[in-house]
Structure 1
Amino acid sequence: MTSYKDALEHARELVVKGRAPKTGYRRALYGRSWDDNTSVPLGHNGCRTREDILQRDLVNVTVRPGTGGCVVESGTLLDPYTGDVVYFQRGQGTSALVQIDHVVALADSWVKGAQAWSMDKRRAFANDPRNLLAVSGWVNSQKGTGDTATWLPPNKVYRCEYVARQVEVKRLYSLWVTLAEQRVMMSVLQKCVIPSVAS
């Protein structure tokens, strides 16, 4: 994991531009949801990406027999965005209590560089575990397509980690940021490097 000091420097180095038009954006342009057929970490392991992230981020996981160790039936999440404990039980009406968030939202990537990518690169981005977190469904809906300038996790303890991850994903995929976004990234990370006595 990159240090907060390095993340602050990387945030300073990100290309700053305005948003491109959202024209033409569709989820389908990033491939089939949770596609295992990618070259990113955990790709080509026989399990859909959602199952990989549930297994990585939940504890006390039980897996459905006969699914090759893939399908998560239940588990417990300590939601990084809220600090809440969420019990996951697969089923209609309960599965959505835990969702997989794209830390850098797909729609945000579209207006900051991804329009020019190949389908393979967009599919990789949509399934890259470095850009994915299991979180509470309601907070994932609240975040929507927000970037750092418009949304931060309500759990303030996690904001350093969240912003550092956004910076590193944008750097890894050569996405740009808006000026407002960069300012918030740097403001948050400066407090992580030199914690305020008052905080």
Structure 2
Amino acid sequence: MDTLEVKGRAPKTGYSRDQFGPAWEDVDRNGCSTRNDILDRDLTQVQKDPGDCKVKAGVLNDPYTDQTIDFVAGQGTSDDVQIDHVVALSDAWQKGAQQLSAGDRLTFANDPLNLLAVDGPTNQAKGDGDAATWLPPNRSYWCPYTARQVEVKSKYHLWVTQAEHDRIKEILSDCPSAPEAEPTENGSEGENSSATEAPAKMNPAPPAPAKPEPVAPQPVAPQPAAPEVGVGGFPNCTAARAAGAAPLHAGSPGYSSKLDRDGDGVACE
């Protein structure tokens, strides 16, 4: 409601039904007129011939009068149920629709958001009244009716007069508020939650690993002293093995040819 501009009513000069295109144009190209689309949407127990869009009969629970109307298409009966422009075309023309393109006015006149199947005589009594001059006889429908007018005018950037603004605001202030979002299983709110809610708390970052304590160097075990080897080398292989020196390669300390029995250069194999 707060997004709607409040201005005076513009002159009705130049208005005609033709400014909004042919009546009940098939704008969605589904092969059916807009009137039959809305009758099919709003009536129950709809009767149509197979493969035909035309609604021949049905039952309307009229939102404007809270009465049940048995609809039968035909001369003298079809007007019992009429398709109302919630924001009347003439009212729209005087509040911004003159600046819309012809294509946008055609869309406006056939927009399902702006259309309701209603009691014919009640629709005739409404004329091109806005919320300041006409409301449905069924008072329980005032909230959805005026809320829809606000939606339509906001969608097409139409304005409201001061009297209209004040009346709509008065009505909507007494309407039930939208239900609050209920928590889901994981504790977060559902899709009705406000976009301005504070963001959920994030899991804290894991603590940084503790800096390892310096490890004292371990003392190196002393290595056994190399056995002393005489000038002639080890006296035998037993002594070489006991000293951990076997096998002995030619030229290494302790090697002697007498220990290398096969003469391959490796002793005490």
Q: Same fold (TM over 0.5)?
A: yes
Deviations, residues 118-158 of structure 1 (Å, cap 9, x unaligned) = 11000000000000000000000010000000001110111
Query: C-alpha separation between the residues in 2 aligned to 1:143 and 1:62?
Result: 28
Corresponding residue number in structure 2 for 1:62: 47
Q: RMSD of the TM alignment (CA)? A: 0.9
Between structure 1 and structure 2, the one with the greater Rg is 2
Q: Which residue of 1 aligns with 2:4?
A: 14
**Partner of 2:251 in structure 1?**
none
Residues 169-180 of structure 1 mapped to structure 2, 5 A cutoff: 169-180=152-163
Mapping of residues 99-178 of structure 1, within 5 Å = 99-178=82-161
Q: Counterparts of 1:64 and 1:16 in 2: how far apart (Å)?
A: 47
Q: Does 1:44 align with 2:34?
A: no
Name the count of aligned residue pairs: 177
State the Cα deviation string for residues 75-112 of structure 1 (Å, max 9, x = none).
00000000010010010000000000000000000000
Q: Which has the higher contact order (CA 8 A, sep 6+)?
A: 1
Report the CA distance between 1:167 and its aligned residue: 0.3
- Give TM-score, length-normalised by structure 1: 0.87
Q: 2:66 aligns with which of 78, 83, 98?
A: 83
- 1:12/1:186 contact within 8 Å kept: no
SS of structure 2 residue aligned to 1:81: coil
Does residue 32 (structure 1) correspond to residue 22 (structure 2)? The answer is: yes
Q: Contact 1:12–1:182 (CA<8 Å) still a contact in 2?
A: no
> 1:20-73 CA distances to partner (integer Å, 9 max, x unpaired)?
00000000111000001x3xxxx11110000000000000000134xx331000
TM-score, normalised with respect to structure 2: 0.65
Give the number of the structure whose residues are more often helix, by fraction: 1
Q: Distance in 2 between matches of 1:179 and 1:157?
A: 24
For 1:50 and 1:98, the matched residues in 2 are separated by 11
Query: What's the secondary structure of 2:116's corresponding residue?
Result: strand
* Corresponding position: 1:191 with 2:174: yes
Equivalents in 2 of 1:160, 1:142: separation in Å? 20
Q: Are the aligned partners of 1:63 and 1:70 in contact in 2 as well (CA < 8 Å)?
A: yes
Residue aligned with 1:187, SS: helix
Once superposed, which parts of structure 1, at least 4 consecutive aligned residues long, lie more than 3 Å away? Answer: none
Unaligned runs of 5+ in 2: 178-269
Separation in 2, partners of 1:64, 1:103: 29
Partner SS, residue 56 of structure 2: strand
**Share of identical aligned residues, percent?**
58
Cα distance in 2 between the residues matched to 1:142 and 1:131: 18
d(CA) in 1 for partners of 2:123, 2:2: 27
* Aligned residue type for 2:7: K
